[in-house]
Amino acid sequence: MSIFIDKETRLLIQGITGRDGSFHAKQMMEYGTKVVGGVTPGKGGLKFETTVPIFNTVAQAVKETGANATVIYVPPPFAADAMMEAADAGIPFIVCITEGVPVLDMTRVYPFVKEKGARLLGPNCPGLISPGQSKVGIIPGSICASGPYGLVSRSGTLTYEVVYQMTRAGMGQTTCVGIGGDPINGTNFIDCLAAFEADNETKAVVMIGEIGGTDEQEAAKFVKEKMSKPVVGFIAGQTAPPGRRMGHAGAIISGSAGTAAEKMQAFEENGIGVAKRPIDVVSLLKKSIKS
C-alpha cells in the first residue's frame, strides 16, 4: 500500500514544456508513473516525447485523459492560478513544486482548494514517491526502495539524505512525502501521519521537521493521542541562531516556540525518538520496531 499516490495514479503535468517540467516529466515517465497528459497554454494539440498529449487547459486535459492528479512546474507568478485551475477542473490531488509563491497568493489558493474538495501538496516541495508504484515530483527514484516505512518531511534535501540511509540499511518505504517549508502549505504533518496510520502496510514513520513555527509540536501531540505506530524524528536547524532565516520561508525562529530545542523536547515528551544526526534515524527506527 501507499498514501496519496499508487499504480492507479493518472498524472497531468502543468508546465510540461518548460525547462523543469520537461526534465522531470521524463524522469517520472522513466520511473513508471502514468503520465497521461500535459498542460501548456498555446501548445494544445502537440505531443511531449511523441506520446503524451498536451492541452491548453486543465479542464480539457481532465476530460480527455481522466487524470486524477497533477504536478505543477510553472513560474511563481502563475503558480496560484495553476493550482486553482487544477482544483476547479476537479483534480483531487494537486502537487505544486514551484518555490517562491507569494504568501498572499496562498491565502487565496488554500481556501479555494479546500472548498473544491482537493488535496494540495506544497508549494515549494519535492513532491512524493511510492517506491515501485508512482513518483510525482523531484525525489530521485534511485535512492528509494519499496518497504514498510513511511516518511514525511519539511526539508527536501534531508528527505533525500534520510531516505538514502534507510534504503542502504534495507529499510524500504511505503511513501516518502515532502510537504514543503512555506508558511502556508496544503498538506501538513498531521495529514500525512493520519494517512500513514490508516495504511495497513506502513509499520513505522519517520518525521523530519525544522526550526520555525509550531507544526512539529502539534504533530507530536497527534502522535501521542492518535497513533498506534512508532514514530521517530529529526529536527533540522539545531545550530541556527534566533531570527536567522534558514532556507525555507517558514523556518524562522520567533521567541522560543520555533527553536530546535523546543521541538525536540516536544518529540521526546510525546514518545517520539529524536535523532541527533540524520544518519541516526536508521538506528532509532530499528529500535522503535523492536520495542
- Asked if residue 76 and residue 20 are part of one domain, the reply reads yes
Domain with 63 in it: what CATH number?
A: 3.40.50.720
Place of cell 521541538: 263
- Asked if residue 193 and residue 253 are part of one domain, the reply reads yes
The Cα-based distances of 16 to 142, 155, 196, 257, 270 in angstroms read 22, 25, 30, 40, 43
Place of cell 513560474: 75
- Asked if residue 204 and residue 145 are part of one domain, the reply reads yes
Query: Is 3 a member of any domain?
Result: no
Q: pLDDT category, 246, cuts 50, 70, 90? A: low
User: What per-residue confidence (pLDDT) applies to 240?
Assistant: 63
- Asked if residue 254 and residue 176 are part of one domain, the reply reads yes
Q: What is the pTM of this model?
A: 0.94
Q: pLDDT category, 250, cuts 50, 70, 90? A: low
- Asked if residue 92 and residue 192 are part of one domain, the reply reads no
Query: Is 131 a member of any domain?
Result: no
**Phi, psi dihedral angles at 146 (to 5 degrees):** -70, 140
To the nearest 10 degrees (0 to 180), the angle between helices 215-226 and 260-269 is: 0
Query: Is 134 a member of any domain?
Result: no
* pLDDT higher than 70, residue 176: yes
Beta pairing, strands 34-39 & 52-55? parallel
- Asked if residue 167 and residue 237 are part of one domain, the reply reads yes
pLDDT tens, position by position, 124-145: 999 999 999 999 999 999 999 9
Rounded CA separation 57/277 (Å):
45
- Asked if residue 166 and residue 104 are part of one domain, the reply reads no
Domain that holds residue 61: 10-121
Radius of gyration of the chain (CA): 19
User: What per-residue confidence (pLDDT) applies to 255?
Assistant: 53
Classified as helix, coil or strand, 53 is: strand
Is 248 among the catalytic positions?
Answer: yes
pLDDT tens, position by position, 23-76: 999 999 999 999 999 999 999 999 999 999 999 999 999 999 999 999 999 999
* Closest to 100 measured CA to CA, from 28, 168, 183, 41: 183
- Asked if residue 220 and residue 81 are part of one domain, the reply reads no
User: What per-residue confidence (pLDDT) applies to 124?
Assistant: 96
- Asked if residue 75 and residue 36 are part of one domain, the reply reads yes
- Asked if residue 248 and residue 180 are part of one domain, the reply reads yes
- Asked if residue 39 and residue 145 are part of one domain, the reply reads no
Domain count, the chain: 2
Query: Is 26 a member of any domain?
Result: yes
* Closest to 121 measured CA to CA, from 75, 160, 74, 177: 177
- Asked if residue 147 and residue 116 are part of one domain, the reply reads no
Query: Is 28 a member of any domain?
Result: yes
Rounded CA separation 19/34 (Å):
20
Catalytic residue from among 9, 248, 270, 278: 248
